[in-house]
């Protein structure tokens, strides 16, 4: 028996602050039903304090079956009215707020709803209402909650709440709030929000734990974190909202119940997608750090299961390359190094080569258009001084005959053949390059550009250091395995010239002095047709040098009957000693530079006087010679005249002894422009007759118009570079993709 009295105050009392209504008594048995209605209606009307039922209320409840449906209608209307009057305590603020403020607000509203549900359901728990009445009340209360707490506001607040109270670390706090909203009828809404919050937490955990960690594999550790920490916490949370449903399922099937697809396997799949997304964002830095980042690539490889993910990697990497790598301010060596890392890393990520084929195309195209790519690559292959790609020479040294002239195997005869991947481009070709050097050489359609650069570098080496012939011979044998004997036959002649020059020089010195050695003068006799084009400038050498040239020529004609020498006066090296008032300095310089400084033995000169003294016709060449000695602190320019700096003041001297760094051989660009000059008259005639013309049409016309004896063999890229030079020189205009003669 429940005694009449007042229950203790609850949180609901502080919200709904009204005075209690006094009870009434039965007037007589005839009016029992009406009186019972009034007593029960008054008792169940929402009040600030919960009261135990009096004897009159208990007696009146005996008539409840007579008017239960009508009483429930009255009670539900009372609840609606009461809830509306005090809705400000449960309505969420739609104004954007910080996650901390949203978390506090959602916790407060959840507490209020929990008290309200308990307060409104109290009369039904005391009196003998039917199950139908209880279900009707439950529907009414839940509809009120949905009406006053719209989903779009609840979503924002609850997501911020879970952001502040992680499922793994603050399970009890999250469980209390989540369970309240579920029991108040927002089970579907809460589960959808929880699913989104779970995804956010997985992403947050992935970034918090593994961002920038590429040198160790993290995939299995992340899977374990999700499997053994995150999934159990999430299921405990979800089960609170579906306890009865889960009991029924478990009674019928002992297998693990599926909660909104939040099974371990589905979350592991989501985990892999999240890690794949993170590593995709970091793909450029991962590639640059290869091979130290190999574990991260292996993790990414284990997560790559969808075509969309592969496409995202390609797109992200290409955008990063355009922004951070393929820029004029980036050193060519750095771009080549990044390309090498790209090839090696994507070979790990996708051994079939489809991704590499896609991501490497922009880099290969950019390197091909870069002016110094060939010289940098050849410098690395030949281990040129200062090259940062010397490892290419190690690859060259490992070349063997089995690598040369690899025959293409017919697909029908290839036992290891497999079809192209589904995302392979239409022109996809499997990577058949045997090593990295082949991949770099394949940047260009043919190997001729490399051969020309190789010949030029070896020519410089042999002319600057006669003792380097043995090293050149060893390299040539390796290069022939890579490029072929016929392509490098000029090098054989050049080497023979160097060896033959030593014999001729010995014979000449014996004829002149009676001894085989002459430490003062050495000459190299070249077969003009087999050596690359040299940078030639007309210049008068000092009388002492001219006398030695004349004497050597006479002796040579005696050793080699009916043959004469034509001297390249601006080439060669001279060791000179300069005596100043306060110092003595020695320099290893070119013959042109030696001739330049000899002019100032007679005093100061203007640039015009300097050019006249040496017979120089090009002012740019004269300026370069003068600038060299000014930089060395030997000359100084004052009032338009140059003079020798006899006494140093401060840091005027740059260096004491310096090596020759000026190349005697024309660069690839200079040679190409020289070769293109023969076609210039045809190009001018074509543009005169046709007007503005695109590059493709000019290229096609040259193939037809140039006579066979001249033979136009240039590629469209080579033609474009030459026409661009003519635009820079002011002889052509380039407008709207067309070239035309410069308007006068």
Mean pLDDT value of segment 358-373:
89
Element (H, E) at 732: strand 732-735
User: Is 322 in contact with 264 (CB distance < 8 Å)?
Assistant: no
Instruction: Classify strands 732-735 and 5-6 as parallel, antiparallel or unpaired.
Output: unpaired
Residue 110 in contact with residue 176, Cβ under 8 Å?
yes
Q: Residue 286 pLDDT > 90, yes or no? A: yes
Residue ranges per structural domain of the chain = 5-164, 194-281, 283-409+430-447, 462-513, 533-644, 668-741
For residues 241-267, give the mean pLDDT: 53
Tell me the pLDDT band of 652, cut-offs 50, 70 and 90.
Answer: low
Of 671, 674, 677, 688, the closest CA to residue 739 belongs to: 688
Region of residue 741 (left: phi > 0; alpha: psi -120 to 50; beta: else)? beta
Tokens in use for 52?
Answer: 């135990």
Instruction: Lowest mean pLDDT of 34-48, 89-103, 316-330, 723-737, name the range.
Output: 89-103
Q: CATH 3.30.230.130: does it fit domain 533-644?
A: yes
| CA dist 156 → 92, 95, 149, 222 (Å) | 10, 10, 12, 28
- Whether cis (ω within 30° of 0) applies to the bond prior to 90 is no
Whole-number Å distance between alpha carbons of 444 and 438: 11
Burial 495-527 (b: 16+ CB within 10 A, else e): bebbeebeebbebbbeeeeeeeebeeeebbbbe
Tokens of 714: 């240039």
Portion of the chain with pLDDT greater than 70, in percent: 83
Q: How far apart are CA 297 and CA 281, in angstroms?
A: 13
Pairing of strands 573-579, 732-735: unpaired
Higher pLDDT: 17 or 569? It is: 569
Looking at residue 28, its pLDDT comes to 45
* Per-residue pLDDT, 428: 53
How far apart CA 469 and CA 523 sit, in angstroms, is 15
132 pLDDT more than 70: yes
Return the pLDDT at 153.
87
Per-residue pLDDT, 315: 94
Quick one: pLDDT at residue 127? 87
The rounded distance, in Å, linking the Cα atoms of 650 and 198 is 71
Which tens digit of pLDDT belongs to each residue from 710-722?
Answer: 888 888 878 888 8
691/642 Cα distance (integer angstroms): 48
| Domain 668-741, CATH number (from 3.30.540.10, 3.30.1510.10, 3.40.50.300, 1.10.10.10) | 1.10.10.10
Average model confidence (pLDDT) for the chain?
80
260: left (phi over 0), alpha (psi -120 to 50) or beta: left
- What pLDDT, on the 0 to 100 scale, is given for residue 27? 47
pLDDT of residue 277: 93
Residues 6+ apart with CB under 8 A from 492: 476
261: confidence class by pLDDT, cuts 50, 70, 90: very low
Q: Choose the weakest-confidence range: 47-51, 432-436, 627-631, 673-677.
A: 432-436
Look up residue 88 and give its two tokens: 């400000």
pLDDT digits (tens, 9 = 90+) for 368-427: 888 888 888 888 888 877 778 888 888 887 765 444 444 444 555 556 565 666 666 655
Q: If DSSP codes are grouped into helix, strand and coil, which group holds residue 531?
A: coil
pLDDT of residue 515: 58
Evaluate the CA torsion angle 472, 477, 480, 482 in order and state its sign: negative
Q: How open is the CA angle 79-81-84, to the nearest 5 degrees?
A: 105
Q: Which residues contact 211 (CB under 8 A, 6 or more apart)?
A: 278, 282
Indicate if the pLDDT at residue 344 is higher than 80. yes
- Asked whether residue 430 carries a pLDDT value surpassing 70, the answer given is no
pLDDT (0 to 100) of residue 739 = 92
The 8 Å CB, 24+ separation contacts for 563-571 are: 565/523, 565/525, 566/528, 568/534, 568/536, 569/538, 569/539, 569/540, 569/541, 570/535, 570/536, 570/537, 570/539, 571/463, 571/534, 571/664
The DSSP line for 124-190 is HHHTT--HHHHHHHHHHHHHHHHHHS-HHHHHHHHHHHHHHS-TTTSHHHHHHHHHHHHHTT-HHHH
Sign of CA dihedral 450, 452, 453, 457: positive
CB 123 within 8 A of CB 75: yes
Handedness of CA 364, 368, 370, 375 (dihedral sign): positive
Mean pLDDT highest for which of 265-274, 363-372, 405-414, 670-679? 363-372
Q: Give the three-state DSSP class for 287.
A: helix
Side-chain-side CA neighbours of residue 592 (13 Å)? 25
Q: Record the pTM.
A: 0.68
> Higher model confidence: residue 680 or residue 386?
680
Query: H or E element: which one contains 245?
Result: helix 243-252
Calpha distance 481→68 (Å, rounded): 102
Containing H/E element for 482?
A: helix 469-483
The CA angle 628-633-637, to the nearest 5 degrees, is: 75
Maximum Cα–Cα distance for the chain, whole Å? 158
pLDDT at 295: 94
Residue 276 reports pLDDT greater than 90? yes
Q: What pLDDT sits at residue 681?
A: 87
Rounded CA separation 79/16 (Å): 12
- The residue with greater pLDDT, 431 or 209, is 209
Q: Are 655 and 643 in contact (CB under 8 A)?
A: no
Q: What share of the chain is helix, strand, coil (3-state, %, to 5)?
A: 60, 5, 35
Digit-coded pLDDT (tens) for 545-567: 888 888 888 888 888 887 888 88
Structure-block tokens of residue 50: 């919960």
Assess contact for 279 and 303: CB atoms under 8 A.
Answer: yes
For residue 427, the model assigns a pLDDT of: 53
């Amino acid at each position: 028996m429940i005694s009449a009295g007042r229950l203790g105050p609850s949180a609901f009392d502080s919200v709904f602050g009204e005075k209690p209504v006094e009870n009434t008594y039965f007037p007589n048995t005839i009016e029992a039903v009406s009186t019972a209605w009034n007593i029960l209606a008054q008792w169940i009307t929402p009040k600030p304090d919960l009261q135990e039922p009096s004897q009159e209320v208990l007696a009146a409840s005996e008539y409840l079956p007579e008017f239960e449906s009508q009483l429930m209608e009255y009670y539900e209307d009372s609840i609606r009215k009461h809830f509306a009057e005090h809705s400000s305590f449960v309505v969420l603020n739609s104004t954007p707020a910080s996650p901390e403020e949203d978390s506090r607000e959602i916790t407060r509203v959840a507490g209020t709803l929990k008290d309200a549900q308990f307060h409104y359901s109290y009369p039904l728990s005391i009196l003998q209402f039917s199950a139908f009445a209880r279900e009707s009340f439950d529907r009414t209360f839940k509809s009120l909650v949905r009406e006053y707490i719209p989903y779009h506001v609840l979503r924002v607040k609850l997501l911020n709440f879970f952001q502040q109270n992680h499922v793994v670390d603050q399970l009890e706090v999250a469980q209390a709030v989540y369970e309240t909203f579920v029991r108040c009828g927002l089970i579907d809404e809460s589960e959808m929000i929880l699913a989104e919050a779970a995804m956010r937490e997985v992403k947050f955990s992935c970034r918090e734990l593994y961002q920038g960690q590429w040198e160790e594999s993290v995939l299995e550790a992340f899977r374990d974190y999700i499997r053994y920490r995150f999934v159990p916490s999430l299921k405990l949370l979800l089960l609170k909202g579906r306890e009865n449903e889960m009991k029924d399922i478990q009674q019928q099937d002992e297998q693990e119940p599926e909660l909104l697809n939040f099974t371990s396997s589905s979350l592991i799949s989501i985990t892999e997608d999240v890690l794949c997304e993170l590593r995709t964002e970091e793909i450029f830095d991962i590639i640059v750090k290869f091979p130290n980042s190999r574990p991260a690539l292996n993790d990414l490889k284990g997560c790559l299961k969808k075509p969309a993910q592969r496409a995202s990697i390609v797109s992200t990497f290409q955008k990063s390359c355009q922004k951070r790598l393929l820029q004029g301010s980036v050193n060519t060596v750095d771009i080549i190094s990044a390309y090498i890392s790209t090839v090696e890393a994507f070979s790990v990520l996708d051994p079939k080569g489809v991704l590499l084929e896609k991501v490497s195309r922009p880099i290969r195209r950019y390197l091909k258009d870069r002016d110094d790519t060939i010289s940098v690559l050849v410098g690395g292959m030949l281990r040129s001084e200062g090259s940062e790609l010397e490892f290419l020479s190690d690859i060259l040294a490992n070349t063997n005959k089995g690598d040369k002239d690899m025959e293409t195997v017919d697909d029908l005869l290839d036992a290891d053949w497999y079809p192209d991947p589904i995302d392979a481009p239409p022109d996809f070709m499997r990577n058949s390059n045997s090593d990295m050097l082949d991949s770099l050489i394949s940047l260009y359609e043919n190997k001729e550009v490399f051969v020309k650069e190789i010949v030029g570098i070896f020519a410089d080496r042999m002319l600057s250091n006669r003792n380097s012939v043995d090293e050149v011979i060893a390299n040539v044998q390796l290069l022939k395995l890579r490029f072929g004997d016929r392509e490098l036959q000029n090098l054989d002649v050049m080497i023979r010239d160097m060896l033959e020059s030593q014999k001729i020089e010995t014979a000449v010195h014996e004829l002149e002095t009676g001894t085989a050695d002459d430490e003062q003068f050495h000459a190299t006799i070249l077969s003009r047709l087999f050596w690359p084009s040299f940078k030639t400038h007309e210049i008068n050498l000092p009388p002492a040098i001219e006398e030695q040239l004349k004497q050597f020529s006479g002796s040579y004609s005696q050793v080699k009957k009916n043959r004469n020498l034509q001297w390249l006066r601006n080439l060669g090296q001279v060791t000179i000693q300069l005596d100043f008032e306060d110092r003595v300095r020695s320099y290893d310089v070119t013959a042109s530079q030696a001739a330049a400084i000899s002019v100032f033995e007679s005093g100061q000169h203007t640039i015009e006087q300097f050019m006249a003294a040496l017979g120089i016709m090009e002012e740019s060449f004269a300026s370069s010679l003068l600038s060299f000695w000014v930089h060395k602190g030997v000359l100084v320019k004052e009032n338009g005249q140059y003079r020798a700096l006899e006494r140093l003041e401060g840091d005027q001297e740059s260096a004491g002894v310096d090596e020759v760094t000026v190349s005697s051989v024309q660069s690839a660009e200079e040679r190409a422009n020289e070769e293109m000059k023969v076609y210039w008259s045809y190009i001018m005639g074509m543009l005169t007759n046709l007007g503005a013309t695109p590059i493709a049409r000019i290229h096609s016309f040259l193939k037809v118009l140039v006579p066979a004896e001249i033979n136009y063999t240039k590629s469209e890229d080579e033609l474009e570079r030459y026409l661009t030079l003519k635009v820079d020189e002011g002889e052509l205009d380039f407008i709207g993709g067309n070239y035309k003669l410069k308007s006068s």
